[in-house]
Structures are given as C-alpha cells and as structure tokens.
Amino acid sequence: MRLRRLLLVVLLVGGFWYVTAHLPEGISGKTGLNLANTTGSRSPLALTEAQAAPAFDSEEQNNIAVYKKGLPSVVNITSKLVAYNFFYGQVPSGEGQGSGFVLDRAGHVLTNFHVIADANRIEVKTSDKRTYKATIVGSDKVHDLALLQINAPNLQPVTLADSSDLVVGQKVYAIGNPFGLNGTMTRGIISSIRTVRGPEGGPIEDAIQTDAAINPGNSGGPLLNSRGEVIGINTLIATGGAEQSSGIGFAIPINTAKAVLGDLTRYGRVRRPSLGIVSLAIGPDVAEQMGLPSQSGVLVQKVVSGGAAERAGLRGGNEQAYLGNLAIMVGGDMIVAIDGKEIVDTSDIASIMEKHQPGDQVNVTYYRGRRKMVARLTLGDAREVNT
C-alpha cells in the first residue's frame, strides 16, 4: 500500500514537471501570449504599451485650453411652443433647440432670435446639466439676436473679444449643441468677412464666414478665437439644400452684439436709426426708362410723417405709375449718396445705418428733378420697418 502511494506521488510530480517544462511560454507563466494560426502552429502576440501618459503637442494643448475655457459658459436652449386644447390643457405643439452663452454672473444669456422665435416657454441647460426657466429680456429680429436671463448660481461668463480686426486664415472654434449633442467643439479658420442676409432677411454686416463645422443646434453658440474669447455668434449655414454643414457657416460679429446689448437691457429693443422713408432701388435700365438723372440710386416713394427725411425737407412721389405689375410713386427725390458713400440700393442705406444711432446727423445727397442737392439730416428712431 505504501509503495503504491509512493508511485502515485512520483507520477504526479513527474507529470507537473513535464507540463511546466514543455508547454508554450504564455501558458507556463512567462510573458507573451500564444495563438494558434490556421496551420496549427503557434506564434507570440506581443503588445507594445506606452510607459507614460501621452504628451500633447502645442496645437492640441491650445485646442484643449480653448475647450476648457469656453465649455462652462455654453448653454443648451430648448424653446417650446405650447398650445391649449378644448379643455384648456397644455398640449406641446413644437420644440426647437439651439445654443447660447453666458454673458455675466447675473444670468444674462445671448443667443439667436430664430432659436426662441414664437416660443412661449424657454429652458436653458447649463454645462453642469442643470435646467432653468428663461425669460426674454429683449430681442432684435433684424440682427437675429435675443437676450435671455436665468436665475442660476456659479455661472461662468465668456470673455468678449474685438471683432473689428479679424483676418482671413486665423483659427476659430465653435462650441455648441449640434443635433442635440451637448458640448461639441469643432475647429476651422475664418474663410471670409462678408455681408450676408440673416435668417430673418436683414443684412449681417461683416459676417464671419468659417469652415468650422456648424450644424442645426449650433445656432446661438459662440465662435471663439485661439485664446478662447468670443468673436461671433454662430447663426446660419449654407447647405445647398441639405440640413447639415457644407463647410460654409456664418457668425454674427460680436461687435454687432455689443452695439445692441445696451439697448436690449435698457429698452427691451434696439433703437435703430432711420431716414424715415419708404424707398425703391433703381437700376440703370429703369433709370433710363424713367428719364432719371442718375443710373442708380434709391427713389423716395414716401416720407414718413414727422420722420427725419420730412424734417430735412425731402419729398416723396406724387404720381402713381407701374413698374411691371408693381405700383410705384414717381416724382420724389432720388438719393444717390450718404456722407459721400454711393447709394445703389437699400442695402447700402442699411449698411450705413448700422454705423449710426438715432440722433446722429448725416449728409444726404439727392436729385430733385435734374438738380443735385445735399441735406443735413438728423436720424430718427425706427420703430417700424422702413429705411
């Protein structure tokens, strides 16, 4: 019996020695893994791992710094249109999403007008995932801007830059909530500085064109420079019919926003200057047909009663005529320049008005018949849609 037990022990020890001495390294406890290939032979799989955390290059470090600085100030805005059914119960009838950014610790938030247009309930979600009810302080449909306010603690305001010295080619970053994906950052360059038509049809002077990816949901979010300062408000994209970025996005320059924020907080609206006229742009063909003294300019159809033009002595048309199927008034003055800058159409007047405030004085050059005249005009306050 003892001999049998001794032989069993010897067999176990010998078997263990054989297994540990002849099996591949990966099974015997040494480094490496062994995988069988299709022919049945085995080859080691060696994995190379970093010995330390990755080192970011200078460009990556700047990207990360911009994101860390800008993200806490960016908010997600949900606008809801609520209707009431027959029993006066609330029925959600529409919802939109956009972005915005915190201006101060008092809770003022800047976004696009079209993000909150027609909404009767607006919610703002901050970067810490908390949601607050927002009220509209003021809005400017022409510039596509809206100022909201929330009551929230520990807000981190953005830093506003000067957008007057931007150059094509400089790096820009967009942070927002495209397609509801919170906290998304994209990067690109300034592609151009140009005048474009905003979502509400008004001109955006010195709009920042960029190839940074801007998609639905980015509207109202900040466009940042490489120091993480806000240079613009992302507002629209050229898509060619597709509801996504095509590499052509536009932002309202932050200097435009600065110019209207004071009025929004003080009056709840923008006090925009006006000539106090209803006008019609005239091109060379029409000017020749009508026998006008200039090939291009703006024909005064009507002067607004008590407005700037009427006070300065300008005259509107006194005889009805037709331009195709369009009824117009002829016989009025034809404006060709303001402060020495040529006026070709109404967008030229709008561009000049952008640089002025109500109460400013301008020199208006116009024709009355064949006589060229100049009037000193004090700009009025445009409450209604007129030039």
Residue 67 CA from chain centroid, whole number: 17
- Do 52 and 93 touch, CB atoms closer than 8 A? no
Q: Is 219 one of the catalytic residues?
A: yes
Q: Is 114 one of the catalytic residues?
A: yes
Distance CA(239)–CA(159), nearest Å, equals: 30
Give the CB-side neighbour count of residue 381, counting CA atoms within 13 A: 7
- Do 84 and 90 touch, CB atoms closer than 8 A? yes
Distance CA(348)–CA(185), nearest Å, equals: 36
Please give the helix or strand (H or E) that residue 11 lies within, else none: helix 2-22
Give phi and psi for 216, each to the nearest 5.
-55, 130
3-state secondary structure of 12: helix
Q: Which of 219, 245, 274, 279 is catalytic?
A: 219
Distance CA(202)–CA(384), nearest Å, equals: 14
Q: Which of 99, 139, 144, 191 is catalytic?
A: 144
Q: Which of 108, 114, 163, 211 is catalytic?
A: 114
How many residues comprise the chain?
A: 387
Closest of 178, 190, 168 to residue 248, by C-alpha: 190
Give phi and psi for 2, each to the nearest 5.
-65, -40
Distance CA(318)–CA(129), nearest Å, equals: 62
Which active-site residues does the annotation give?
114, 144, 219
